[in-house]
Structure 1
Amino acid sequence: MQKVYVISGTMCTVDLWQHVFPKLKNILPIHIDITPASSFEEINKIILSVITEPAVIVGFSLGGFSAMNFSIHFPEKVKKLVVVAANTDGLSDSEIQLRKSTIDFLEKHTYKGISQARIQQFLHPDNHRNSEIISVIKKMDADLGKDVLLRQLRATSTRLDISQKVLTLNTPIFFIAAENDALVNPKKLKEFVSKSQKGTYVMIKNCGHMVPLEKPEELASILNLTIN
């Protein structure tokens, strides 16, 4: 069995992968919980505490950015990366502004859980009323709660552009993009990967940002091909 270390996104738990993990073949997924971290330095320490040998790391969204950032600092610890729905150039100005206003609001008010409008930002329009997916997103959000949300927003909103450093990595990287991702532009990501000697680009069609929940079978198939 091939050990694979999996890192989730903002306000995501291992529940994110509930339909992916059972479909993996000859792969033992080990979930790394980065929610206690207050900075990218702390995220690196958490990953280091779990990984003992050059590893295969799969990262989704914030987890994908974190996996790439870890690889830049500890290239000897990584033998392959799979980055799902994440880019290298940090967050858009609009996303940074949204996060700042969310932090300001949370510091003064009770958190009532992730809004329907925010959930819809993450999903393909076909899934805006998908009660199963929506319930998983709401459960992960409720399980982690306001304190984790504030900590993650403060810790990870100021993301440096790591594009040039990622291009110099001597590690195979598989970038999995989603055609209808409102947070990570798939065309821009494809352009970036085309500059990389070690990068491979795969796009999943009819899918929003939440790839592990929206297209678990396709994602598992890609992971089975790229990891084994």
Structure 2
Amino acid sequence: MIDVFFISGTMCTKDLWQYIFPYLKNINPIHIDITSASSFDEINNIILESISYPAILVGFSLGGFSAMNFTSQYPEKVDKLIAIATNSKGLNPIEIKLRKSTIEFLKKNNYGGISQTRIQQFLHPKNHDNQDIIAVIKKMDANLGKDVLIKQLKATSERTDITHQLKSYKKQILLISAENDILINPAEIKQLSKEMSSSTHVNLKQCGHMIPLEKPKELVYLLHLFIDS
């Protein structure tokens, strides 16, 4: 069995991987909880304390950026890196603006949970009425709550571009994007992959941002292909 360390995204718990973990063969998935962190330095410390290294890191969205950031600073501790639905440049201006307005709103109002409109922004249109996926997203959001949401939005919205640092990492990197992800431009991921000699890029069709929930079978296949190589 190979230990593989998984890091979830903003307002995501271990439940994000519920369609992935049971189908991994010869892999021991270990979830790293970063929801207590107030900065990327704290996230790095949590990862350091959680992994046996050289480690295989798998990160989704915020977790993917966190895995990239950790790898850029501790390349000797990472054997393989898999970054899902994220890029090394951080968030686009529209998402940053939305997060700032969300923080101000949350400070002044009660939080009734993630809205249907926001959930649909994360998903491919064909999944807008997928009650199984929607239920997972709502459960994760409810379990973490308002205080964690504010903390994560504050701590992780302003992200330094780590592309240059990441280019010095010479081991294998798998970058997974989605054709219909409105948060992360797949063209930027493709370009990043071209700039990194050790990377492979896969772009999933008919999929939004929530790749582990929307395309679990494809993700399991890619994880095995990359980790077993």
Q: TM-score, normalised by structure 1?
A: 0.99
Offset, 1:171: 2.3
In the alignment, residue 75 of structure 2 is paired with which amino acid?
A: P
Looking at structure 2, the residues matched to 56 and 37 of structure 1 have their Cα atoms a distance apart, in angstroms, of 21
Structure 2 gap segments, 5+ residues each: none
State the SS of the aligned residue for 2:113.
coil
Matches within 5 A, 1:108-187: 108-187=108-187
* 1:74 counterpart residue number: 74
Instruction: Give deviations 1:131-154, integer Å, cap 9, x for gaps.
Output: 010000000000000000000000
Alignment match, 1:89? 89
Same amino acid, percent of matched pairs: 61
Cα deviation for residue 167 of structure 1 reads: 1.3
Q: Deviation at 1:75?
A: 1.1
Q: Describe how 1:188-207 pairs up with structure 2 within 5 A.
A: 188-207=188-207
Counterpart CA distance in 1 for 2:172 and 2:124 is: 29
Distance 1:210 1:171 in 2: 26
CA-atom RMSD, angstroms? 0.7
Cα separation, 2, equivalents of 1:123 and 1:197: 31
Offset from partner CA, 1:176-219 (integer Å, 9 cap, x none): 11111111111121011111111110111110000000010110
Distance 2:181 2:166 in 1: 21
In the TM superposition, structure 1's runs of 4+ consecutive aligned residues that sit over 3 Å from their partners are none
Residue 35 of structure 1 and its aligned partner are, at CA, apart by 0.2
Aligned to 2:21: 21
Query: Within 2, Cα distance between the matches of 1:35 and 1:171?
Result: 28
- What corresponds to 2:51 in structure 1? 51
Q: Distance in 2 between matches of 1:48 and 1:136?
A: 28
Structure 1: gaps (5+ residues): none
Supply the distance in 1 between the matched residues of 2:193 and 2:13 (Cα, whole angstroms): 28
Distance 2:202 2:11 in 1: 25
Could you tell me which amino acid in structure 2 is paired with residue 220 of structure 1? V
Q: CA–CA distance in 2 between the matches of 1:127 and 1:173?
A: 29
Q: TM-score, normalised by structure 2?
A: 0.98
Number of equivalent positions: 228
**Local SS of the residue matching 1:83:** strand
State the Cα distance separating 1:127 from its structure 2 match: 0.2
Compute the displacement of 1:168 (Å): 1.6
SS of the counterpart of 1:41? helix
In the aligned structure 1, how far is the partner of 2:138 from the partner of 2:21?
20
Aligned residue identity for 1:89: K
